Structure 1
């Protein structure tokens, strides 16, 4: 005891010393923590203020848009939308006022903001009043007379100023918080060092004390009321306590070194061996067993791991649970008796549950088949019957009994149908359902086993023993029967039969009600069809299309998305009408509409506007998607149309507009579509996308072309790279070269604004030459993680037609000091097909120079597989529109997976571009895609940054 007391004194002294040091440091740290908490609260207030300012800006825009929409349309919903936004903005403004309470400068700006917003609210209320009382012209005239733009700019300037001020204060507070964190870290480090030294001394004290306590522990283990043992990996005992020895080897003094099989005996070892194997495999487990008559034990195995991680053996901990097992057996007996009583109660109440569930089903059902299916499920699941089926009579020559719904039959409705049951009085019409239909009364079979009426179906009873069939009477006629089956004989009593009959009557009532509703809906649909759809083609008419266009505009304005609209006019329809008559012209119109519907996606809308004019609304689409659809339409219309036995070419001109890029109102979109159609006729092209620059700013395009030529000469172009990653290894395997224009006034101009202009003006040749030189210089200078990585350059159709292309590439390569194969070329599928034979010669020339070739945007052109196999290409890139649609478009997933398999079968590698999510990466990796490219990996970056990015890149898991 004196030794223990001395040990405790030393430990207490050490911890008292530690407590004094901690107390000394705690005061200073507490102050720092308090300062940090204050700083955190101020930072949180700043974040909340910035967020509130941003939401006020958004609400202000929503209020103005709603007010202007109401002025234009008079739709009251816009006023409700505006007032809701005003109320939310007021809450935000009050919150901002509270947040700026202690900042005089910000509070002054808030007062200014409040005044301007109040002024704009007066404008909005006046616009509303004028629109309601005097109409849209008066409201529009008022808008022109008030300073809406000036006050809007005042609001945005004040919000921006307040936000900038708060961001600056936030930066200062973040710096202060960082200093506080560093001070805390330093204090914590000093404290940790001291405590580490102190704990090292305590550890030495404890270690010495443990040696003294080990003998005491062994004594305790030997006397605890539990069996304890340790067995090595060879299943030999290393240690057992006295209780274990008395239970399994009472006549032996020591079993150390003996095997478990030898001590337990063969019978007990046969039970324990599989569990021992699991313990030696590293699994901790517990189980109950009965090693001796009237003796139960709970045994726990705990694996012991060696330093190398291998299992060195396992511990055994056992306790006697005989009394617990006896109590469990008694409880089990009580539970069995309780289950019997519950079963009796269930037998009485199941019909009521069935009736209640059936009523709920009828309240929710909207169509007849769903009602029948739900009723059968309710009978089986809520009523706990073995099976339910609804049979309808068919008034054919065989008097067929048709199963319309079933639940509980293993083969389902189709399995019942192969029974070829009849409601006639022949051999196949002896079943309970047939008799209920013929008699119009409830029919009960208490035991179908060996019953003469069921001799033909004994093999198909499937464990169903008794059946109750209830006729279904609709408008005085028995249309079928509801059959309810049970797995027990004589399972239905009188009250149960009565209640189930009521359920069948309710089902019949529900069927009649739904049929009446369906007939009424059919009549309403016919009326709707006459007023909203074109009688000749069955397509929506111009009024419906205009409504859909307005709805799409509202949706896009709220979601920030875009959509496309196409107008396509049939060529030479008047000639067909003049030569063959209007009936044959109508035939051509019908065929044209049918082909449009077959080609457009399911979510798109095709309409006939007037005469030979058709329109397509393509939601959630941009320039690439609508161009691809226009190309598909051209292919679909290429086949001749047989009119009066004469094959006539069915061609059209298509004009395309994009929202919101090409118009803010339906009138603008229709007008610009018409302009694009006329432009297509003028240029002799099959489709044209509306170009506002060509219509409104032709001098502007000329100016931009001049500036582009100067940009090439003045080194205003910038080389960007987007990485490619090998999916199997996660290794960065190259990049695609992309071009940006650093305009001195407009900043960084994306390629979509000038590549097309370069194509039209012939500047694409010097532009491509600049890119090739820039890529070559980068390949020569690249070091580190970027060294040795190939870069692919895109070539257009004009580039392929350039006779000096091969010589230029050969000259760039001859003067280079980088390995062959690092310069790669990408060409689109459609580019190759413009002049296939010439393109094939050029591609073979590139291949001979050791340049790897890619086919880009695969899936958007019309190249045949036989021709694709001839191309000397190494890689084929799936168009990014398919890859981006993987998450929600099953068709896109099928196309991508099939393309991967096809490309591999052709002996090429596949590249997926446009990967933006982890899910898309996982799917493509599972399908065996070779190379990945997209924002999920990295956005395009300046070429100078590529090496640093590649060095730190880690592949997705």
Structure 2
């Protein structure tokens, strides 16, 4: 009832943002996220582009150093050959200067390719062959200085100049080819990064345009809704008044100061205050309640609702005092009235006359007490009957027991207990095999199996020397017809068996005497 009332009054029960504000916030947040994402993507792509440009420059530098190393190697070879032919010391100075330059270039190549294991391996091979060629050049120099041109020329003819030259140039070509491949790859990466940046920027721009258009459409739609809401608000007052008139509970509403603003006819009748006279009065003046038992004024829950902003219920045993002094028991609850921002703007109090329900409850309570008394009496009678039945069963001159489907004793009477478990107070929960023992259980187990299948069983047996019993098994079924155990009924037939044995012995003796008499008679005839 309270939910219907508050919904009709256009009141939200929980503070929340309007749908329009939420959508605008979502659109703004999305735009910020798009801009942030665009910035992050641009920064990342710019970083990648800078790194790609650095790698391209790095590769170009390696290629340039390889070219300088090749040229320096050729120059060293020319200078060494010219010195061998001319003996001009200036050629040696030029050679040594070129070697120094080449060494610096080789060191740069090693540093620049330290992140490439294949290039480092090629550089190591290049370093070895260059060192070998330097040694050859030094030896040619020594021979030219000490033994003359012919000795130097003869050594050159036998030295591995061609093989080392080809190996040097091959390694330089391989290193240059590798760097050229890396340069092409890194140029492609750089171009891809630029394209990605352009595409990302275009997509982000398009998304921002979509957000702007959507936000504009949302604002236009909200303006139309606001116009419709203003028109509906004028009709809402009449609808609310009609609703209050038709609600089956008494309803009154207050403002934030606890003064009455609305009442429906049932609230007017129960309090005795017409709305025209009650409007603007403090709720305590119109809604007067007392404790039914102490007759002391009770607290109206409106103040607690305004203080806490939560639903409040009336204490039990509350009476509403009519304006004319009459009283009636009531039950009520009070809930806060909140605006669209979730702020408490008043209280709605819903209450109803509990006179008839109280009478019904009292009648039900009296009936329940009477019923409980009868149940207790019947329970005592049943307990007495059960005790009497148990006493009878325990003292009848027969063995009685009940065994469940797991072959565990549930109940045995005193004769059964004295016969199979003398000296024990109870065997409930123990198995048939445990009580009878393995030998006797082997005799009865086939009959037990059959009775648990639903077939009654009966047999005579001699469980102890000189003791005979007749046993009957009867299955016990549940409400679904399933066997859930069986009853055992046993009687001692030892005297009958002994009498039968005596009769059998007498019959045997009588038959023997008859046969003896017949033999005597036949002997006399002969």
How does the TM-score come out when normalised to structure 1?
A: 0.19
Structure with max Cα Rg: 2
Task: Flag the structure with higher helix content.
Answer: 2
Q: Which structure carries more relative contact order (alpha carbon 8 Å, separation 6+)? A: 2
How does the TM-score come out when normalised to structure 2?
A: 0.33
